[in-house]
Amino acid sequence: MTTMTQVSVREFRMPDVGEGLTEAEILTWYVKVGDTVTDGQVVCEVETAKAAVELPIPYDGVVAELRHPAGTTVDVGEVIITVDVGGGTAPAPAPTPAPASAPVEADAPAPATAGASETAETTGGAGAEEPRGRQPVLVGYGVAESSTRRRPRKGEPAPVAEPPAAPAPAPAASATAPAAPPAEPAAPAANGARPLAKPPVRKLAKDLGVDLAGVTPTGPGGIVTREDVHAAATPEPRPAATPAVPAATTTAPETAAPETTAPETTAPETAAPVTGRETRIPVKGVRKATAQAMVASAFTAPHVTEFVTVDVTRTMKLVDELKRDADRYGLTGLRINPLLLVARALLVAIKRNPEVNAAWDEANQEIVRKHYVNLGIAAATPRGLLVPNIRDAHAKTLPELAAALADLVSTAREGKTSPAAMQDGTVTLTNVGVFGVDTGTPILNPGESAILAMGAIKLRPWVHKGKVKPRQVTTLALSFDHRLVDGELGSKVLADVAAVLEDPKRLIVWS
């Protein structure tokens, strides 16, 4: 009579935490194997192309396996963690006859034997019993058995049948060597069949210029993996660093091969300095999304940039006064700085020139006029450039605007900005003056009509009331989409911003 340990293992897959995103990088694991987790507990933090997001687990149980280490980029839908929800520990490896019993059909592979079951499947061991051990655990989910069974269509059953010499070892031997080489069949396109690969892997191969027909697959059932594409994109093996690479590939297969062909590679910074003369940094997450958005914006929206240099001495005096008498103005505990008044001046200028607050609908060939202002604030963070926006900024008082601005900046610097906070912006404000820069020609945030760059405020000789005096002066630059905003309208908006900053009393008259 066979003794069985009743263990129910649930698989948690990488969800689509953004709008149609295909992958996410695991930044940090908050749990380890053996930890008890509860429904709703945050188990890891991942970074998508839009933001860093914490993922809660929807099960109660014990962590059975962490499928990917921190720093790995995982496709949406791929299993990242398994949880034992049946109250048992890990499945006992001793009872070898157990695979023949029916209850194993509902059991997922345990952390110690996941590689063994995968090897047994690719080598054809244990007859028809091994595939049953890899049956889906959740309805509508499961391991990629369906794709493995579905695709060997053009006379290519070879990935499973080619290495028949391996069935002899017992499951114990498979557990000893979970990453057995029989999972590496020959190139799949030898007979003209379409190589087996997931859509994200196909896109990666296309971006790197790799022909999948010439890639040697190492995935289960002859599926081409991301690592296979990276390996095919690498020109030749490195001469000196060869001993150091295998240790890295066993722990983080996603970062096995440093790339030399395209900036979208996922080579790790640690493996990059091979010659000591170059460092290659992987472009992914927010930085990758920002780069793509800037390219799309620069080559779709016709940019026009106008400049104005303005005396902001009175604005700086107002900032000092608001700081001194914060209690009287209802600004206690809020950060008062020139950026706050520039934001208010921009909102006033938009109110006076509402036509500038619009978007271009390419599909319908329409200009969409916005009757609200979601003011984007460009924030430089360790994760790259983020542009969250203040919702309905046009309806906020100065204290409300100051509070929203402070909260937005602090959240962005902590890396906690949500994807929703970066959507539906209408106009953006960027402060390049904090870096000592006079001004610049900013690129529009995609979908927006204008972006205002604020330069550094410096003491300069300025003609004031007929005399040359040292005054606080800055330069403003307004970039706008010329499909939406013509030169006259753009000039009016920029001139109104400058007028408010030159004489802040206009805030009272024009608001």
Residues serving a catalytic function are 482
Locus of tokens 């006079």: 438
Contact 454, 429 (CB under 8 A): yes
Query: DSSP of 281-347, one letter per residue?
Result: ----HHHHHHHHHHHHHHTTS-EEEEEEEEE-HHHHHHHHHHHHTTTTTT-TT----HHHHHHHHHH
For 257, the token pair is 């091969």
SS (H, E, C) 402-422: HHHHHHHHHHHHCCCCCHHHH
Contact 62, 35 (CB under 8 A): yes
The kind and range of the H/E element at 476 are: strand 467-481
Closest CA to 173 of 247, 96, 253, 92: 96
Closest CA to 72 of 222, 205, 268: 268
Contact 423, 445 (CB under 8 A): no
φ, ψ dihedrals at 12, nearest 5°: -110, 120
Sheet holding 61-66, edge to edge: 9-13, 79-84, 61-66, 36-37
- What is the biggest distance separating any 2 CA atoms in the chain, rounded to whole angstroms? 105
End-to-end CA distance of the chain: 85
Q: Which value, in Å, is the radius of gyration of the alpha carbons in the chain?
A: 29
Query: DSSP of 355-413, one letter per residue?
Result: GGSEEEETTTTEEEE-SS--EEE-EEETTEEE--EETTGGG--HHHHHHHHHHHHHHHH
Contact 419, 18 (CB under 8 A): yes
For 11, the token pair is 């698989």
Task: Tally the C-alpha atoms within 13 A of residue 208's C-alpha that lie toward its C-beta.
Answer: 28
